[in-house]
């Protein structure tokens, strides 16, 4: 039996078999209820978009001319925000389910596509990060979990043949297919065709165990973890040294079949967030290779440490920074940030620790000498005054006696 793949959505995924078949994740309203198709429009701007200066971002690029293959459960073109965003003719259907690549009974693929390229609409604050990019829908999975490693390889091959610029894969398997498998061959073919391959890392991180997931763990694939509002790893997001970058993946608003929006969480929705930024960057820098696009996204990500870690990779993707900073072609790999310069030594006033015993004795001795000197001077001055007073009195007495002696009798 073919190995199954999981299209994971944290907190909503249905574990269908021990082999990890595709979950048919029921979307959730913002209030936590089930999401019916169609859904109501969410008027507010989602938090994952509030953190981005969209007007500033779209001054640089809107993703025009860039095509993104969404290998998933199909993309519903009946949604008003996706009707003009999907090139169904370039897509394909690798399932046995009713309908075609524009049929999405699960809603997973439609949400992924919306995060990338949903067009603006007056009834909602939600919009895709690359609203002028084109979605190429490839249905490889469905509500019955019919997707396998073999059909995923076929879907990647089709995307390469369709000439897409970016491939988004929001599903994974924790059973290693092997470097010589059809999946590894297909991934390498996409990389050789200069396609940016982006994959979610999976949602089994709550137990703290690090495990490789595929195709995210293949060399050259940009493995995307989920972050929360505080730019920290979402509790469900898989950790590991293969994690390349992170993006918002908690309480993500996006389009659902037939219209409206719902809220869901998972690395499945962090990956298309990065794919949307990659589409903007490919449109702005058409001469850059796929490898350079990936390097630049990592280099400009927001991080708390100089280099990568196992939770968030090189950090949380920063859309505006990616499009406005260091526009020279990057090297093949990102480099850690230089250490912060050392702060200058503070100018500290000397601390008065008080007198020592010797200093106090010296001060007292000086005081005694000074006092004695002043007292001696005072006594000498007093004696001089008394002597002068007596001298004056003596002269006066002599004058009086002479006067008396010279008087006639």
Tens digit of each residue's pLDDT (9 = 90 or more) over 296-354:
999 999 999 999 999 999 999 999 999 999 889 999 899 999 987 777 777 777 666 66
Phi and psi of 92, rounded to 5°?
A: -160, 165
- Quick one: which of 302, 295, 303, 255 has its CA closest to 278? 295
Give the list of residues 6+ apart from residue 6 with CB closer than 8 angstroms, or none. 13, 20, 21, 22, 23, 171, 172, 173, 202
Q: 61, 79, 108, 172: which one is catalytic?
A: 108
Secondary structure element (H or E) that encloses residue 134, with its range: strand 134-139
What is the predicted pLDDT for the residue at 243?
Answer: 99
CA dihedral 229, 230, 233, 237 (to 10 degrees): -10
What is the predicted pLDDT for the residue at 19?
Answer: 26
Question: Angle 105-106-110 (CA atoms, 0-180°, nearest 5)?
Answer: 95
Residue 409's CB is within 10 A of a number of other CB atoms, namely 2
User: Do residues 238 and 270 touch, judged by C-beta distance below 8 A?
Assistant: no
Show pLDDT as tens, one digit a residue, over the chain (409 residues).
344 455 444 333 322 222 222 333 333 333 344 689 999 999 999 999 999 999 999 999 999 999 999 999 999 999 999 999 999 999 999 999 999 999 999 999 999 999 999 999 999 999 999 999 999 999 999 999 889 999 999 999 999 999 999 999 999 988 878 777 999 999 999 999 999 999 999 999 999 999 999 999 999 999 999 999 999 999 999 999 999 999 999 999 999 999 999 999 999 999 999 999 999 999 999 999 999 999 999 999 999 999 999 999 999 999 999 999 988 999 989 999 998 777 777 777 766 666 566 766 676 666 667 666 777 766 666 555 555 555 555 545 555 554 444 444 3
C-alpha span between 22 and 36 (Å, rounded): 20
For tokens 């008065």, the residue is 352
Torsion over CA: 227, 232, 234, 237 (sign): positive
Q: What are the tens digits of pLDDT across the range 14-65?
A: 222 222 223 333 333 333 446 899 999 999 999 999 999 999 999 999 999 9
Secondary structure element (H or E) that encloses residue 367, with its range: helix 357-405
- Reading across the β-sheet that carries 222-227, which strands appear in turn? 92-93, 134-139, 67-72, 166-169, 196-200, 222-227, 245-248
Q: 239, 268, 296, 318: which one is catalytic?
A: 268
Three-state secondary structure along 175-225?
CCCCCCCHHHHHHHHHHHCCCEEEEECCCCCCCCCCCCCECCCCCCCEEEE
108 counts as catalytic = yes
User: Do residues 133 and 276 touch, judged by C-beta distance below 8 A?
Assistant: yes
Q: How far is CA 262 from the centre of its chain?
A: 23
User: Do residues 28 and 40 touch, judged by C-beta distance below 8 A?
Assistant: no
Three-state secondary structure along 258-283?
CCCEEEECCHHHHHHHHHHHHHHHHH
Residue 16's CB is within 10 A of a number of other CB atoms, namely 16
- Quick one: which of 120, 186, 196, 191 has its CA closest to 155? 186
76 counts as catalytic = no
What is the predicted pLDDT for the residue at 359?
Answer: 67
What is the predicted pLDDT for the residue at 15?
Answer: 27
Q: 72, 76, 154, 165: which one is catalytic?
A: 72
User: Do residues 191 and 157 touch, judged by C-beta distance below 8 A?
Assistant: no
Instruction: State how far the alpha carbon of 105 is from the alpha carbons of 91, 138, 211, 275, 351, in Å.
Output: 17, 14, 30, 23, 75
Torsion over CA: 306, 312, 317, 318 (sign): negative
What is the pTM assigned to this prediction? 0.80
């Amino acid at each position: 039996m073919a190995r199954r793949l999981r299209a994971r959505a944290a907190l909503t995924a249905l574990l269908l078999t021990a082999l990890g078949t595709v979950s048919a994740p029921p979307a959730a309203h913002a209030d936590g209820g089930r999401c019916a198709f169609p859904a109501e429009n969410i008027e507010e701007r989602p938090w994952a978009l509030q953190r981005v200066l969209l007007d500033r971002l779209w001054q640089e690029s809107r993703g025009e001319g860039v095509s993104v293959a969404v290998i998933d459960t199909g993309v519903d073109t009946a949604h008003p925000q996706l009707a003009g965003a999907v090139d169904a003719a370039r897509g394909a259907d690798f399932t046995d389910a009713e309908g075609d690549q524009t049929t999405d009974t699960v809603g997973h693929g439609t949400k992924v596509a919306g995060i990338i390229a949903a067009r603006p609409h007056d009834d909602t604050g939600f919009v895709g990060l690359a609203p002028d990019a084109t979605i190429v829908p490839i249905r490889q999975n469905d509500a019955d979990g019919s997707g396998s490693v073999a059909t995923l390889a076929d879907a990647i091959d089709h995307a390469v043949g369709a000439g897409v610029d970016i491939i988004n894969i929001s599903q994974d398997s924790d059973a290693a297919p092997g470097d010589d498998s059809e999946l590894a061959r297909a991934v390498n073919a996409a990389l050789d065709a200069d396609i940016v391959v982006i994959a979610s890392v999976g949602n089994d991180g709550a137990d703290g165990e690090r495990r490789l997931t595929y195709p995210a763990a293949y060399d050259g694939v940009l493995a995307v973890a989920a972050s929360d509002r505080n730019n920290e790893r979402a509790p469900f997001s898989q950790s590991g040294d293969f994690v390349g970058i992170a993006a918002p993946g908690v309480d993500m608003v996006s389009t659902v079949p037939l219209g409206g929006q719902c809220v869901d969480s998972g690395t499945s929705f962090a990956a298309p967030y990065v794919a949307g930024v990659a589409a903007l960057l490919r449109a702005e820098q058409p001469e850059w290779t796929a490898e350079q696009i990936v390097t630049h996204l990592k280099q400009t990500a927001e991080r708390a440490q100089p280099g990568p870690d196992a939770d968030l990779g090189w950090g949380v993707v920063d859309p505006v920074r990616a499009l406005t900073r260091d526009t020279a072609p990057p090297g093949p790999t990102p480099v850690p940030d230089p250490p912060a310069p050392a702060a200058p030594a503070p100018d500290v006033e000397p601390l008065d620790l008080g007198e020592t015993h010797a200093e106090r004795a010296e001060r007292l001795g000086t005081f005694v000498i000074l006092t004695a000197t002043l007292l001696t001077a005072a006594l000498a001055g007093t004696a001089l005054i008394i002597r002068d007073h007596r001298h004056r009195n003596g002269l006066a007495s002599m004058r009086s006696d002479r006067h008396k002696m010279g008087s006639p009798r």
